[in-house]
Amino acid sequence: MELEMNKSRTNLHVVMFPFFAFGHISPFVQLSNKLSSNGVKISFFTAPANVHRIKSMLSPNPTLQIIPLTIPTVEGLPPGIESTAELSPSQSELLKVALDLMQPQIKDLLSQLKPHFVIFDFAQEWLPKMASELGIQTVFYSVFIALSTAFLTVPARLPEQTRYPTIEEVKFPPPNFPKTSITSVNTFVARDFLYLFNSFHGKPCVYDRVISGLKGCSIILAKTCNEMEAPYIEYVKSQFEKPVLLVGPVVPEPGTDPLQENWANWLSQFDDKSVIYCSFGSETFLNDDQIKELALGLELTNLPFFLVLNFPADKDISAELKKALPEGFLERVKGRGVISTGWVQQKQILAHSSVGYYLCHAGFSSVIEAILNDCQLVMLPQKGDQFLNSKLVCGDLKLGVEVNRRDDDGYFGKEDIKTAIETMVFGDREPGKTIRDNQKKWKEFLLNEEAQNNLIKDLVKELEAVAGISDT
């Protein structure tokens, strides 16, 4: 296959190779847009089924091309479904099996393209060795905050390498972790973290993949900045003893399409900054008890709310809602509360003048969107890095409040929801006042386009220097 690249301002050529999950693909797309606008050639590797959506997310640029990969047949992996958004957790593990089978294909493509760098993800721990044999350098792009890497996936987490940690061990930071507000996590969070150390289908666990990738790469790239995470960035540097370059928090582009008329009309009937918007992302599903307590908690606030609930693709949504919602709930909140299922225009909703509170799963892009739109943050993390995002946002940065939960099983009740929201409603009292003041400062920082652009310009210069090419 002949692959042609367009000429650009520099000779720097980078291959982007994210894992097949849109929580990973989106940060790679955002970085691609920023790099290509600075003249860098981008070849973006992805599964064929994801091409259309990725193309709609990428900025039109002659220096950028999408290269569809051939996904091998794997028993149990539905053909044509090639991102985790449409797969069960067990099926998603099979994507890693398929990825490992693609090594000869990737080697052939890299031999043809001859890029200076491959920017890769956590699952392709075999890539640094392959690329090195071809004379190509590798960059491990961590799409998570530096705290996640520092707390979970550093060599100090398993200093002896003889066994994986227990749940009690995972509750606490690894040795020599920096002294910050993060001193431990709850038992139910540590139990969730144990996933990192589980092997599926005889393949390396996530921890082993990440450690191998971080040790084998030439450069570590992190989606963060020193202003937010300096102690954790320095700790990661000390653990891996190699360059850690920073992309910044990557401020999402505002939504360009107008908000749907029905939602715009509904929101416009309420006072400025009075509506609670509540959403947990497209791949997070609450159980019936959580939905019930969440709904009752929103009801208790007496504030208008817009609740987004998602369910697995194989579920009957009407039946699931009827089963989960409290009896008589929809009648009691009629006029001040709505429930939507499926995708909604989140950026446009958060930007609406009536929306003042955002109860979310602590996905970091969502956190940034909330700050930019002056929406007060209430965190209810559900899995993985979300727990540490919330620790950073509510602990170190004091930019929001987390819903109180039971230590062992993570249970929260309606009063916990009401109390967390009211902390932000009464912004003239502490800690709500401090949080609101901090949000204003961080909004100014995030809206400083020059500072954000300089991070990318510096990144391009450093990559060019490592590659031994100039900007002329």
Q: Classify 192 in phi/psi space as left (phi over 0), alpha (psi -120 to 50) or beta.
A: alpha
Distance CA 223, CA 163 (A): 30
Element (H, E) at 16: strand 13-17
What amino acid occupies position 193?
A: F
Task: Please pick, among 121, 208, 385, 416, the residue that the annotation labels catalytic.
Answer: 121
| Residues 155/175, Cβ–Cβ less than 8 Å | no
317-324 vs 288-300: helix axis angle to the nearest 10?
Answer: 60
Q: How many other CB atoms sit within 10 Å of the CB of residue 442?
A: 20
Q: Which residues pair with 142 in a beta bridge?
A: 222
The β-bridge partners of 337 are: 305
Extract the tokens encoding 124: 């392709």
Active-site residue flag, 121: yes
Burial of 421 per CB tally in 10 Å (0-12, 13-18, 19+):
buried
Q: Could you tell me whether strands 337-341 and 305-309 are parallel, antiparallel, or unpaired per DSSP bridges? A: parallel
Active-site residue identified among 13, 24, 352, 361 = 24
List the structure tokens of 307.
């609740």
Q: Which element (helix H / strand E) includes 402? A: strand 400-402
- Given the structure tokens 């989140």, which residue do they identify? 346
What residue type is 330 in one-letter code?
A: L
- Residues that are catalytic: 24, 121
